Amino acid sequence: MPDPSAVTRRGVDSHCHVFDTARFPYSAEATYRPPEHEQGSVEQFSAVLAAHRLSHALLVSPTSGYFYDNRCMVAAVREGGGRFKGIARVRPGTEERALAELRDADVIGLRLDLVTDGAASVKDAAIGRLLAQAREMGWLIEVQCERDQLAEAAPRLRSARVPVIFDHCGRPDATRGLEQPGFQALLEFGREGHFVKLSGPFRFANAFSPGARSEPFVAALVDTFTPARCVWGSDWPFLRMPKRMDYGPVLANLERWLPDEAARHQVLWKTPARLFGFA
């Protein structure tokens, strides 16, 4: 693994995944199993971070491949020497002891994947209990949603009374305007003091269509959430993409989105360091 002392810039990649099928085979429950060219171990990811002079990362346990199995993510966090924190996918009904074990392993929150589970899933009583457990643990709730799902899920998420961070700019439809209900619901969460990941513009619905435009959505999020509640993430190793993604151009988006150096430093280091608990 690359020597962390070689890293010269404090910065957090706030959305990435690791896969190590030799040590942690895919879950039988996973409906999508990333092929070899979409996988990446903690050693490979550490080399990517070092090459781009980034110091820390938030590892998100993926629905793809691992479903509710967090062992690969937890092992990577443990092996990161303090450079990584984790977000877990937790099955509703999980016992308090298992959640405490995740917390002790530097897991700082749980992820709700509405793209996979559906927006209506948050209305289940078991999810309500899981959100209450997250509040008791002092955890974040990370939400993956798309299009107008957030408009449906917002009341339950809001009632949880926990900090919420949204993946991939809320994954709006990039061919529709800012007024689409799901994106307006996301902006309202920004006004209420929650957080958003400036990540995955290639995850927006219809992102590769001729009329798609991601820039207005990013600009609206920066304006509403402000850099104090925005973080950046790569989404490495770029699952389910119609074309190969390279890390460098994805990171370079940040300079275009935030030309002010102080604002970039806020999004790349100060906000995630505070939110995720990095020294």
Question: Is the N-terminal amide bond of 272 cis, ω within 30° of 0?
Answer: no
**Contact (CB, 8 A) for 182 and 172:** yes
Residue of 279 and 269 predicted with greater confidence = 269
Q: What average pLDDT is seen over the chain?
A: 95
The C-alpha atoms of residue 143 and residue 109 are separated, in whole angstroms, by 10
pLDDT of 7 above 50: no
Enumerate the β-bridge partners of residue 141: 110, 164
Which helix (H) or strand (E) is 232 found in, with range?
strand 230-232
For the chain, domains (ranges, CATH) are 4-276 (3.20.20.140)
Sheet strands (E) in 96-215: 107-113, 140-144, 164-166, 195-198
Give the up-direction half-sphere exposure of residue 218: CA atoms within 13 A in the CB hemisphere: 21
* Amino acid sitting at position 200: G
Residue from 7, 59, 15 nearest 245 by CA:
15
**Contact (CB, 8 A) for 145 and 170:** yes
What does the block give as tokens for 210?
A: 């001729």
The C-alpha atoms of residue 229 and residue 67 are separated, in whole angstroms, by 28
- Count the Cβ atoms, other than its own, within 10 Å of residue 20: 18
Hey, CA dihedral for 25, 30, 33, 38, is it positive or negative? negative
pLDDT of 4 above 80: no
- pLDDT-derived band of residue 32, with 50, 70 and 90 as boundaries? very high
The C-alpha atoms of residue 83 and residue 278 are separated, in whole angstroms, by 8
- pLDDT-derived band of residue 3, with 50, 70 and 90 as boundaries? low
- pLDDT-derived band of residue 242, with 50, 70 and 90 as boundaries? confident
- For 94-119, how does the pLDDT look when each residue is reduced to its tens digit (9 = 90+)? 999 999 999 999 999 999 999 999 99
Sheet strands (E) in 89-170: 107-113, 140-144, 164-166
The C-alpha atoms of residue 59 and residue 154 are separated, in whole angstroms, by 25
Hey, CA dihedral for 58, 94, 67, 154, is it positive or negative? negative
**Contact (CB, 8 A) for 46 and 2:** yes
pLDDT of 43 above 80: yes
- For 119-169, how does the pLDDT look when each residue is reduced to its tens digit (9 = 90+)? 999 999 999 999 999 999 999 999 999 999 999 999 999 999 999 999 999
pLDDT number for residue 219: 98
DSSP string, 34-87: --GGG---HHHHHHHHHHTT--EEEEEPPSTTTTT--HHHHHHHHHTTTSEEEE
- For 195-237, how does the pLDDT look when each residue is reduced to its tens digit (9 = 90+)? 999 999 999 999 999 889 999 999 999 999 999 999 999 999 9
- Count the Cβ atoms, other than its own, within 10 Å of residue 80: 22
pLDDT number for residue 5: 47
pLDDT of 1 above 90: no
CA 254 to chain CA mean position, Å: 16
pLDDT number for residue 244: 81
pTM: 0.95
- pLDDT-derived band of residue 243, with 50, 70 and 90 as boundaries? confident
